[in-house]
Structure 1
Amino acid sequence: MKYRTVIMYVEIGCFVCCLCGWILVSSTLPTEYWTFSEVGSIVLTTSNYYSNLWRDCISDTTGVSDCKDYPSMLALPVFLHACRALAVCAVITGFFGGVLTLIGMKCTKIGGTEIINARVTFSGGVTYLVSGFCGMILYSWWANRVISEFVDPNFRAQKFELGAAVFVGWGGSILLICGGTVLTFFSAKEGLKSSSQRKERRPVSYATARTRRTYMPVLSPSRVALMPPLYHAGARSHMSRVTTTRTGPTFSRDTFV
Structure 2
Amino acid sequence: MKESIEVIALFLGFVGWILVFVSLEDQYWKESTTDGSVIVTSTIYENLWMSCASESTGIYNCRDFPSLFALPGYIQASRALMIASIVFGTFGLVATLVGMQFSKIGGESYVLKGRIAAIGGVFFLLQGICTMIAVSWYAANITQQFFDQLYAGTKYEIGKGLYIGWSSAVLAICGGSCLLCACSFKSPNEKISYLYQPTSRGHVLSTVATTHTAPSNYGRNAYV
Aligned-pair distance for 1:111? 2.1
Choose which of 121, 127, 131 in structure 2 pairs with 1:125.
121
Counterpart of 1:216 in structure 2 is 215
- Preserved CA contact (<8 Å) 1:33 1:165: yes
Counterpart of 1:89 in structure 2 is 84
Aligned-pair distance for 1:107? 2.2
CA distance in 1, matches of 2:185, 2:37: 62
Work out the percentage of aligned pairs sharing the same amino acid. Answer: 38
SS at match of 2:25: coil
CA distance in 1, matches of 2:103, 2:210: 51
Consecutive aligned runs of 4 or more in structure 1 exceeding 2 Å deviation:
38-43, 214-218
Counterpart of 1:64 in structure 2 is 59
Aligned-pair distance for 1:188? 3.4
Aligned-pair distance for 1:164? 0.2
Counterpart of 1:165 in structure 2 is 161
Aligned-pair distance for 1:46? 2.2
CA distance in 2, matches of 1:46, 1:102: 51
Structure 2: gaps of 5 or more residues: 197-204, 218-224
- Preserved CA contact (<8 Å) 2:9 2:176: yes
Q: Deviations over 1:44-88 (max 9, x none)?
A: x62110001111100012111000111111222222111110010
Counterpart of 1:107 in structure 2 is 102
CA distance in 2, matches of 1:183, 1:216: 56
- Preserved CA contact (<8 Å) 2:20 2:168: yes
CA distance in 2, matches of 1:120, 1:89: 20
Aligned-pair distance for 1:215? 5.3
Structure 1: gaps of 5 or more residues: 1-5, 199-203, 219-257
Between Structure 1 and Structure 2, how many residues are aligned? 204
TM-score by length of 1: 0.72
CA distance in 2, matches of 1:86, 1:53: 11
Q: Deviations over 1:179-216 (max 9, x none)?
A: 101101221345xx99xx88xxxxx9471566xxx652
Aligned-residue RMSD, C-alpha = 2.8
Instruction: Tell me, yes or no, if structure 1 residue 52 matches structure 2 residue 41.
Output: no
Q: How does 1:24-39 map to 2 (within 5 A)?
A: 24-38=19-33
- Preserved CA contact (<8 Å) 2:75 2:138: no
SS at match of 1:216: helix
Structure 1 range deviating more: 27-36 or 70-79: 70-79
TM-score by length of 2: 0.82
Choose which of 162, 170, 189 in structure 2 pairs with 1:174.
170
Choose which of 92, 108, 130 in structure 2 pairs with 1:134.
130
